[in-house]
Structure 1
Amino acid sequence: MPSRITVDQASLTDNDIAQQIEFTAEIDGDERDFAVKYAVLQELSGDEPDNDALELFERFSDEILDVCADVADQRPNANVVVIDDDDLE
């Protein structure tokens, strides 16, 4: 059964220096910090996430959050769960 993950929309930020979208989410009742690399957005969209990384994140949020839940389960002790294009199936 897949984990239920809910993003805290107020925490959603585009860290263009680190080239990642960062956010806090509740997953199975626990708060976790996540970072989704721009490479994930590019892989899913086929476009460079120049000035629209947050828009791309929102557009592909269903797929991204499924991956976030899976990776969080695999890395239960990570302070920040970093999602890279290698985590995509």
Structure 2
Amino acid sequence: MSDQRVTIEPASLFDNIEDGQIEFTGSADADAYRFALRYDVVEAMSGAIPQGDALAYVQANLTEIEPIAARALGRDYDQELIIISENDLV
């Protein structure tokens, strides 16, 4: 699956503190996918360790995160939960 556009559903954003990730639903080509954006990726993007504000950072930067989610989708489209890692930042 080639890179494509992912649109994040803002109402689906969830801070999964236990697993250290922000989870959300994104759509591509009319299909819905579940994503998890690890805190270390938020740290790499923002330059700060997320301390209770990872969700706010993601909410404020959805347009920057959507192409990163698209890269992760292209890599792992067949997974139930697509994990966005630092490798997807490149």
TM-score bracket, shorter-length normalisation: 0.7 to 0.9
| Cα 1:35–1:2 shift into 2, 3 Å | same
Separation in structure 2 between the aligned mates of residue 19 and residue 25 of structure 1, nearest angstrom: 19
Q: State the Cα distance separating 1:25 from its structure 2 match.
A: 1.1
5+ residue gaps, structure 1, are: none
TM-score, length-scaled by structure 1: 0.88
5+ residue gaps, structure 2, are: none
- The one-letter code of the counterpart of 1:84 is S
Aligned match of 2:10: 9
Percent of aligned positions that are identical: 34
Separation in structure 2 between the aligned mates of residue 61 and residue 25 of structure 1, nearest angstrom: 11
Separation in structure 2 between the aligned mates of residue 26 and residue 11 of structure 1, nearest angstrom: 11
TM-score, length-scaled by structure 2: 0.87
Residues 15-56 of structure 1, C-alpha deviation per residue, up to 9 Å, x if partnerless?
111110001111111000000000011001111111111111
Alignment RMSD: 1.6
Alignment map for 1:1-89 (pairs within 5 Å): 3-89=4-90
Number of residues of Structure 1 aligned to a counterpart in Structure 2: 89
| Cα 1:68–1:61 shift into 2, 3 Å | same
* RCO higher in structure (CA 8 A, sep ≥6): 2
Query: Which structure 1 residue ranges, 4+ long, deviate > 3 Å from structure 2?
Result: none
